[in-house]
């Protein structure tokens, strides 16, 4: 039987699914249309059996929320209202309400609220940078929008920030405007409303407030999503909390209490977080604005002209400033400026540490190298870059700019790896253990107070998971380093092949030159030149040819050795990249994280149930101890060290191969020029030899006409003159026609030597083939000779 005023299980096609939660003055229920699959969140005012309990003020606030959400508020980061059909569905819901107040129909945000996200074990030390950025951006948009409408929310807390999946991104939306109040000059009376942990101090101690109370809540949430805990001694009672916060200075953004009730004021975000160091530094300054005690200064800065000045600077100034200081609202514009910054996330393999460098379109690689050198201590000339697979670029070149390496939204993984030349991971790598953990190691038997136990288990969890992340990232960096080497080696194949071609080409050219030299010597001797003259001319040429032959032979040997070493280093490079350690390293649980989560949950339950004891911290301490042992084993593992040394050796050997290859190519170019020069000098010597013996050659020609080609007979000597461009009786040559042998062209007559040129044989086809081969062989050498002559 349905209780009085309880919503029915279904109304038409609409079915009641589950209760989503409560806030302000109402509770929220999920309804689903089983016909259209539409889902809406219905918010109704609390059912009060005793009508006297509902004050006029609460009724007014409820109606105010419905009015604001339905008629006025339209923003991407504020939960929107929806129209639900049919109208009878809403009328039936109102009938079931004891107070008959209007109903609020809102979009369903299936991701739950931010509190659920913060309650995850993985959020105990804050959220990932991408989530932090999105939440801060969403809060900024929603709050500035409401303030633009002169509306102050007054109850901003994780429970009032809900998550909705839109495409491939999560949108964070502010909800529950039950305490929101439209502000005007006549109405600034405050009341103690909202959740105490997130409300501004002025809502507690002051009779008047302004919209800066939302800045405070925004700052508290901002700190909590970064560190996983509220900033100001969150375990303290309200009175103690107020006293502590009131005593803080403007630059203090956190207060902690140790196990002996000593309080420490912090001006920095706790180191146990998941955001980059650059973003951390900027957000620390922004948090000083949001968490300013003085509500009149909260969210504002003092400026003289365009220059920002602090209150302390104004007080300590010896001379009055040039101009009147003006308070300027910066809480939103400063956050916009911070979130718009491009921060390059880097992982240094040498010390296994995450770095970050702020960049813009004007930043060059020299500036980036200087920043990395300052953070790591690695000399600038020893810095090498390795790109992860997610990068679009293949490698960092002389024209690369740091902004080309920036990957938007890629904050939790490195956009760039840094390697120190000649090393990968340093031998003595110290662990970065949180102070709260080292304190417990020094006094294992200590009984931690609940708030210290909470800090200890969170920091212990952070340390172990960070070691998992660092080791997995280091393996990923080593793998990318190996892939980079492999790619460089593969690209070097073209140079090795080209070197071999040049080497064999020079050897072939030299061999042809030797044949040419011998042929010229034989012809010179057959021309009845003086043996002494011939010997004097050709001895020098032959000696030079022999010397070059020995040198070119060494070049060929070097080319063969380079090829052998290249094939060896290529094989070893491929083996290194496929090493078992590098297979699915990011998915392997190296430090038993499942057990770690269980241990954390046990400690958290004890804290929530106030059932802590002297040994509540032992399980998490044991997890840290096991992590340190496993870390030492992994870093000292033989295969891990062997893999690093293998890659270092491959890199060194490839550099040696590259030097040898460059030197060999340099010598090859020199040998090509020397060979071309030899050919030219050979030709000059032969022509000089012929010119010296012109008289002898002339006498020989006149005395022995049988060796002179019979031009008349070759061309034909018929009396009919030229017919169709040919001499009558001569062999007929037609351009493009078939080539017949000389005997066939002469009608089968015996071939006289007078029809042949020097060195010509009777087979024309053989002559053509030989000439084609000669042309192909000497083409490159002729070109080189012409280049040298120029």
Is 7 a catalytic site residue?
no
Q: Which of 155, 214, 476, 784 is catalytic?
A: 155
* Contact (Cβ atoms closer than 8 angstroms) between residue 560 and residue 704: no
Largest CA distance in the chain: 148
Measured distance CA(78)–CA(482) in Å, rounded: 48
- To the nearest 10 degrees (0 to 180), the angle between helices 764-789 and 493-526 is 110
- Cα distances (Å, whole numbers) of residue 85 to 34, 45, 459: 13, 21, 51
Alpha-carbon distance of 693 to 699, in angstroms, equals 10
Both tokens of 216, joined, read 């405070």
- Specify the 3-state DSSP secondary structure of 135: helix
**Number of Cβ within a 10 Å radius of residue 492:** 17
Residue 345: count other Cβ atoms within 10 Å of its Cβ.
23
Q: Any idea how long the chain is?
A: 790
Task: Find out whether 29 and 8 touch, Cβ atoms under 8 Å.
Answer: no
Contact present, 456 and 437 (Cβ < 8 Å): yes
Taking alpha carbons only, the member of 550, 549, 546, 525 closest to residue 535 is 525
Of 625, 633, 230, nearest in space to 438 by CA: 625
Q: Which two tokens stand for residue 60?
A: 């007014």
Q: In 291-364, which ranges are continuous DSSP H helix? A: 311-316, 331-339
Secondary structure letter of residue 398 according to DSSP: T
Check: CB of residue 222 under 8 Å from CB of residue 211.
no
Tokens of 637: 């593992």
Which residues lie closer than 8 Å to 747 by C-beta, 6 or more apart? none
Q: Phi/psi of residue 358, each to 5°?
A: -75, 135
Q: What is the C-alpha separation between 346 and 357, in angstroms, rounded?
A: 8
Cα–Cα distance for residue pair 610/588, rounded to 1 Å: 36
CA dist., res. 268 & res. 375, Å (int):
19
541 vs 682: CA distance, rounded Å: 7
- Provide the 3-class DSSP secondary structure of residue 353: strand
Backbone φ, ψ for residue 563 (5° rounding): -60, -45
Query: If you ran DSSP here, which 8-state letter would residue 403 be given?
Result: G
**Residues β-bridged to residue 384:** 419
Q: What angle do CA 297, 301, 304 make, to 5 degrees?
A: 125
What are phi and psi for residue 752, nearest 5 degrees?
A: -90, 150
- Could you give the angle at which helices 694-703 and 638-692 cross, rounded to 10 degrees? 60
The pair phi, psi for residue 577, each rounded to 5°, is -65, -30
CA-CA-CA-CA torsion sign (132, 135, 141, 142): negative
Cβ neighbours, 10 Å, residue 721: 7
HSE (side-chain half, CA atoms, 13 Å) at 207: 0
Give the CA radius of gyration of the chain.
44
State the residue for tokens 């270092």.
648
Beta-bridge mates of residue 304: 307
Distance CA 134, CA 275 (A): 13
Residue 586's H or E segment, with its range, is: none
Distance CA 272, CA 433 (A): 10
Q: Specify whether the backbone of 568 is left (phi greater than 0), alpha (psi in -120 to 50) or beta.
A: alpha
Q: Which residues carry out catalysis?
A: 155
């Amino acid at each position: 039987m349905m209780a009085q005023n309880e919503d029915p299980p279904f109304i038409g096609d609409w079915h009641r699914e589950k209760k989503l939660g409560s806030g302000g003055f109402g509770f929220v229920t999920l309804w689903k249309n089983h016909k259209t699959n539409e889902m809406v969140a219905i918010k109704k005012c609390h059912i009060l059996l005793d009508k006297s309990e509902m004050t006029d003020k609460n009724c007014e606030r409820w109606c105010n929320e419905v009015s604001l959400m339905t008629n006025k508020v339209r923003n991407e980061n504020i939960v929107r209202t929806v129209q639900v059909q049919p109208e009878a569905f809403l009328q039936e819901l109102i009938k079931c309400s004891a107070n008959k107040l209007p109903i609020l129909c809102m979009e369903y945000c299936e991701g739950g609220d931010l509190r659920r996200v913060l309650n995850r074990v993985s959020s105990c030390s804050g959220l990932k940078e991408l989530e932090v950025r999105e939440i801060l951006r969403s809060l900024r948009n929603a709050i500035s929008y409401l303030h633009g409408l002169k509306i102050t929310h007054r109850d901003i807390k994780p429970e009032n920030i809900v998550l909705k999946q839109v495409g491939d991104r999560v949108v964070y939306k502010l909800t529950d405007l039950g305490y929101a109040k439209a502000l005007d000059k006549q109405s600034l009376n405050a009341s103690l409303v909202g959740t105490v942990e997130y409300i501004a101090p002025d809502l507690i101690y002051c009779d008047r407030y302004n919209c800066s109370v939302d800045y405070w809540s925004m700052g508290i949430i901002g700190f909590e999503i970064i560190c996983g805990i509220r900033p100001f001694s969150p375990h303290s009672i309200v009175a103690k909390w107020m006293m502590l916060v009131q005593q803080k200075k403007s630059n203090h953004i956190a207060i902690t209490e140790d196990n002996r009730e000593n309080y420490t004021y912090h001006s920095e975000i706790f180191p146990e977080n998941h955001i980059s160091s650059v973003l951390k530094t900027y957000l620390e300054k922004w948090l000083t604005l949001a968490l300013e005690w003085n509500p009149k200064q909260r969210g504002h800065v003092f400026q003289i002209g365009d220059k920002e000045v602090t209150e302390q600077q104004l007080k300590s100034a010896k001379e009055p400033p040039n101009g009147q200081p003006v308070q300027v609202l910066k809480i939103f514009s400063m956050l916009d400026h911070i979130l718009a910054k491009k921060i390059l996330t880097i992982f240094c393999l040498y010390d296994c540490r995450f770095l970050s460098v702020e960049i813009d379109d004007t930043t060059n690689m020299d500036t980036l190298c200087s920043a990395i050198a300052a953070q790591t201590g690695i000399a600038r000339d020893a810095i090498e870059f390795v790109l992860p697979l997610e990068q679009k670029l293949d490698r960092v070149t002389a024209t690369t700019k740091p902004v080309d390496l920036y990957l938007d939204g890629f904050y939790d993984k490195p956009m760039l790896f840094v390697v120190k030349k000649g090393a990968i991971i340093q031998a003595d790598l110290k662990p970065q253990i949180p102070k709260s953990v080292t304190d417990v190691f020094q006094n294992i038997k200590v009984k931690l107070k609940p708030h210290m136990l909470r800090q200890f288990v969170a920091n212990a969890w952070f340390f172990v998971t960070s070691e998992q992340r660092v080791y997995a990232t280091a393996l990923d960096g080593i793998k990318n380093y190996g892939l980079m080497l492999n790619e460089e080696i593969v690209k070097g194949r073209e140079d090795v092949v080209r070197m071999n071609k040049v080497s064999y080409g020079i050897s072939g050219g030299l061999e042809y030159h030797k044949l040419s030299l011998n042929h010229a010597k034989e012809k010179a001797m057959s021309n009845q030149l003086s043996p002494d003259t011939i010997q004097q001319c050709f001895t020098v040429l032959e000696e030079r040819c022999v010397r070059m032959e020995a040198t070119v032979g060494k070049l060929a040997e070097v080319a063969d050795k380079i090829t052998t070493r290249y094939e060896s280093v290529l094989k070893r490079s491929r083996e290194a990249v496929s090493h078992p350690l590098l297979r699915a390293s990011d998915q392997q649980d190296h430090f038993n994280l499942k057990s770690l989560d269980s241990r954390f949950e046990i400690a958290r339950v004890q804290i929530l149930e106030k059932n802590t004891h002297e040994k509540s911290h032992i399980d998490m301490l044991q997890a840290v101890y096991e992590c340190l042992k496993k870390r030492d084993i992994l870093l000292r593992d033989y295969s891990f060290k062997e893999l690093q040394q293998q890659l270092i050796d491959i890199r060194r050997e490839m550099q040696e191969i590259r030097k040898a290859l460059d030197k060999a190519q340099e010598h090859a170019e020199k040998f090509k020029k020397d060979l071309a020069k030899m050919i030219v000098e050979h030709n000059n010597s032969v022509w000089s030899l012929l010119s010296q013996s012109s008289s002898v050659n002339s006498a020989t020609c006149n005395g022995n006409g049988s060796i002179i080609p019979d031009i008349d007979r070759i061309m034909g000597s018929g009396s009919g003159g030229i017919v169709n461009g040919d001499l009558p009786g001569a062999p007929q040559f037609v351009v493009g026609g078939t080539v017949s042998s000389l005997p066939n062209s002469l009608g089968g007559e015996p071939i006289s030597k007078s029809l042949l040129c020097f060195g010509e044989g009777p087979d024309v086809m053989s002559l053509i083939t030989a000439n084609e081969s000669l042309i192909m062989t000497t083409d490159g050498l002729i070109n080189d000779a012409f280049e040298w002559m120029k």
